[in-house]
Amino acid sequence: MSARARVALAATVAAGLAASIAPAPSTAAPASSAPAAAVKAATAERATIRKDSFGRTPGGRQVDRYTLTNTRGMVMKVITFGGVIQKLRVPDRDGKLRNVVLGFDNVADYAADTDPYFGSIIGRYGNRIAGGEFTLDGETYTLPKNNGPNTLHGGNRGFDDRLWRADPVRRNGKVGLALRLTSRDGEQGFPGRLRVKVTYLLRNDNSVKIRYKARTDEPTVVNLTQHSYFNLQGEGSGSIYDHRLKIAANRFTPVDATLIPTGQRRKVAGTPFDFRQAKPIGRDIRDATRQILFGQGFDHNWVLRDPGPDLHLAASLRDPSSGRTLKILTEEPGIQFYSGNFLDGTLVGTSGTVYRQGDGLALETQHFPDSPNQPGFPSTVLRPGDVYDTRTVWEFGAR
């Protein structure tokens, strides 16, 4: 999904072993001019979680960073600002670890208007709402228009721009982080006081389970997602256009020129949006069809084939160079594939490398964009007494 328009746009451990948590000194290093060298993954007897300081917000509030390591050496770093997954170090086919998500090495860049939601938890409503308004139970609610004429990712100050309360999780030898916040009634124009909990669980099979839960005291709309930008060759390694992507969808939701769905569910067959069989992302990204031109590449929602109450395969991704793979399973009905179209060479990432168009991709599990204004789309309404509860799993591998 595009950069913020208000600036113009992650061997199972034996049951019963306890994970440890201990303070650790900050390991942040000055940005270098090249990606960090890969280090071979080392197995450990137990998974660990450590906390250090990541700095302070522009307003002076402390931001913590948690480093989670599983028994196979995979590492996930999470900061309390935006619930950001700042680094995700995953082994390749030779067992060498490398960070596979885009991001920054300081709080200021995450807090800046130029941050394209790197690694953030997105809410209260992920994706776009047309015209910055919606009607619920006969009442119209007006939202900030931060993406041209529309609202994107919850408005000017969404959940990506908030400090989350963090609590370490230890579960059957696995480690994780439970992140909580409360969104007040009327925040960014949305009705209802919303209590949110997002849990990241780093499992010992090199998968990351993400669980989103929310409750409200008034009817509202909710659509939470995770906005990591992946590059399986490694952060700072260049384009993802050679990555092979497969999406479990026969249809997608076409958009207008402002990237709002038209309400249709169009067949992917015979179009650049056909990822039913794995193909290089770059194969059709310069196609001259209007849908590609609207997003300057892919920035669309796919209608998943097997939506239901259980986890189902949404997409799979492979980098031929490193052999790293990613499978995404979800309970959501859609997935937004964004091919990093608006990365423009103005942002410097964690390795000191400048991010250019196509240097990372997002695969955001979700309900459909603009669902509050589209009665034919799956509902995103949450009412008092109900619980918003949905899971997504990232399964990493190599071959």
120 is in an annotated binding site: no
Of 157, 143, 140, 174, the residue nearest 44 (C-alpha): 174
Q: Which of 153, 227, 243, 367 is catalytic?
A: 227
Tokens 């034919």 identify what position?
Answer: 376
- CA 286, chain centre distance (Å): 24
127 is in an annotated binding site: yes
Which residue type occupies 208?
V
229 is in an annotated binding site: yes
Alpha helices, DSSP H, located in 61-143? 107-111
99 is in an annotated binding site: no
Of 166, 54, 169, 34, the residue nearest 105 (C-alpha): 54
For residues 299 and 293, give the distance between their C-alpha atoms in angstroms, rounded to a whole number: 10
26 is in an annotated binding site: no
For residues 110 and 59, give the distance between their C-alpha atoms in angstroms, rounded to a whole number: 13
Of 100, 334, 79, 399, the residue nearest 237 (C-alpha): 100
Cβ atoms of 219 and 211 within 8 Å: the answer is no
Query: How many residues make up the chain in this entry?
Result: 399
| Torsion, Cα of 164, 351, 318, 1 (10° steps) | 50
Alpha helices, DSSP H, located in the chain? 107-111, 290-295
Which residue type occupies 334?
G
For residues 114 and 108, give the distance between their C-alpha atoms in angstroms, rounded to a whole number: 10
Q: Residue 227 catalytic?
A: yes
Q: Which of 187, 331, 332, 364 is catalytic?
A: 364
Q: Return the beta strands (E) in 276-343 as ranges.
A: 279-280, 299-304, 312-318, 324-330, 334-338
Give Cβ neighbours of residue 59 (< 8 Å, ≥ 6 apart): none
322 is in an annotated binding site: no
Is there a cis peptide before residue 211, judged by omega within 30 degrees of 0?
no
Q: Residue 364 catalytic?
A: yes
Phi-psi region at 345: left, alpha or beta (left = phi > 0; alpha = psi -120 to 50): left
SS3 127: coil
**Whole-number Cα distances in Å, 141 to 14, 67, 111, 133, 135:** 51, 40, 27, 5, 6
Known binding site for beta-D-galactose: residues? Answer: 127-128, 227-229, 299
Active site residues: 227, 364
